[in-house]
Amino acid sequence: MSGQFAEACAVAVSGLIKRYPKSQVNAVDGISFSVMRGEVFGLLGPNGAGKTTAVGVLTTRARATAGHATVGGVDVMADPIRARNQLAVVPQRLNLDRSISIRRNLTFHAAYHGIAAGEAESRADQLLEEFGLLERADVKPDRFSGGQAQRVMIARALMHQPQVLFLDEPTTGLDPAARLFVWERLQKLREDGVTLILTTHDMDEAALLADRVGIMDHGKLLALDTPEALMRSLPGRATLELATPLRNGASGDRLVQALQELPGVERVESLQEDATDGAPAELRLRLYVSSEAAQLVAPAANLLAERGLALSGVELGRPSLEDVFIHLTGRSLR
């Protein structure tokens, strides 16, 4: 990796290996990737895949066994002290300072990073307000719910305006409302141009938030691309669902056969729906395709029209990141 490239990246990792003492295997096994400034990068994988360890190395809390890593253009192994100025961490577990109020959590964090008291106070006020915490600013963290504590930890991390924000499983264990709040905040941060690196085992979260996703398992990076590209890369995983009103006595068998012969179609399933009040019986056909499903809509509609059948519904089914993970590892994510 050239030095100039590393400096242009928010994060650059090459050949990173981490083996814990007394362990037989590498927790992180030679991963390389780079994250552009302003990008949201997701590390997706099951528990124990090495995501947290990789983040530990990048945030100077774990020493790499081999390889290189820079954050904000600073080598995390050669100059961890300066690297800490460039980054902030929102950990998986609550680690707020329980002896002091949440406002002091924020202002002392700023002080550790050399920010003057006056600036820290006004910045804390601003962040506490943005995160809906102003009313309880003088309460100690023990009185906070998991969702509120998570907000405090994100606000704290933003106090010293890091270039790269690391979030380890940012919504694990949160209730749906709290999760939604965190997602909204993270999307806002993305709009503000903060580089975000998040680890998650929640594929919806990764697909929703991340510009690019790296899929990790057993310490290795198995795939790395945009969520769309990862899902497109799956052979025969897209689906096209067609619906047509069924005339009395008509059978879909011939139609199924014709659809099966369209290029790119791997398999066709027919699901017949009984007539309900007012609505006629409907034939639903699900096509499993290996090419772009949208391109099959027109030829399929033609086939129906040739048989005098109207097309009453079209639905493109998209594979999820979970399908990608299963395809890559042969295992389910959870």
Partner 1 sequence: MSAVMTPRQGVSQARAFRAVLRRDVFVTLSELPVFVAQVILQPLFLLFVFGKVLGALGYTRRGYADLLFPGLLALTAMITAIQTLAFPLMVEFGWTMEIEDRLLAPMATGLVAMEKVLFATLRAMVAAALMIPVGILVLGSIPWRWAGLPLLLAAMALGSLLGAGFGLVLGTLVAPNRINIVFSLIFTPLLFTGCVQYPWPALARLQWFQVVTAANPMTYVSELMRAALVPLVPHITPWVCLTVLGATITALLTIGVRGFYRRAID
**Residue among 36, 46, 48, 113 that touches partner 1 (CB under 8 A):** 113
Within 254-293, the residues that bind partner 1 by CB under 8 A are none
Q: Do 163 and 86 contact (CB within 8 A), yes or no? A: yes
Considering the complex, state which of residue 36 and residue 314 has its C-beta at the smaller distance from partner 1: 36
Which of positions 4-43 make contact with partner 1 (CB under 8 A)? 7, 18, 20, 37-38
Query: Please, which of residues 121-150 interact with partner 1 by CB under 8 A?
Result: 126
Minimum CB distance to partner 1 smaller for 168 or for 205: 168
Q: How far is the CB of 28 from partner 1 (least distance, A)?
A: 11
| Residue among 2, 22, 23, 114 that touches partner 1 (CB under 8 A) | 114
Kind of pairing between the strands at 195-200 and 40-44: parallel
Contact criterion met (CB below 8 Å) for 195 and 86: no
> According to CB under 8 A, which residues from 193 to 222 bind partner 1?
193-195
Q: Closest separation between CB of residue 79 and partner 1, Å?
A: 8
295 scored as a contact of partner 1 (CB under 8 A): no
Evaluate whether 194 touches 26 at the Cβ level (below 8 Å): no
Find the part of the chain contacting partner 1 (CB under 8 A) among 94-102, 218-226, 247-255, 260-268: 94-102
Stretch that binds partner 1, among 82-90, 168-176, 229-237, 256-264 (CB under 8 A): 82-90
**Strand duo 164-168 + 40-44: pairing:** unpaired
Residues with Cβ within 8 Å of 174's Cβ and at least 6 positions away in sequence, in order, are 146, 147, 150, 182
Identify which of 198, 208, 145 has the alpha carbon closest to the alpha carbon of residue 175. Answer: 145
51, 151, 156, 327: residue in contact with partner 1 (rule CB under 8 A): 156
Measured from the Cβ of residue 111, the count of other Cβ atoms closer than 10 Å reads 15
State the Cα–Cα distance between residues 204 and 174, nearest whole angstrom. Answer: 15
Question: What's the Cα-to-Cα distance from 61 to each of 56, 84, 102, rounded to whole Å?
Answer: 5, 10, 24
Smallest distance from partner 1 to CB 34, Å? 16
Among 29, 30, 48, 82, binds partner 1 (CB under 8 A): 82
Residue 74 CA neighbour count, 13 Å, CB half: 17
- Residue (30 or 236) nearer to partner 1, CB: 30
Residue with smaller CB distance to partner 1, 44 or 88: 88
> Residue 177, interface with partner 1 (CB under 8 A)?
no
CA gyration radius, the chain: 25
The answer to whether 192 and 37 have CB atoms below 8 angstroms apart is: no
Asked whether 133 and 125 are in contact (CB, 8 A), the reply is no
Interface contacts to partner 1, rule CB under 8 A: 7, 18, 20, 37-38, 53, 56, 59-63, 72-74, 81-82, 84-86, 88-89, 91, 93-100, 104-105, 108-109, 111-114, 126, 156, 158, 161-163, 192-195
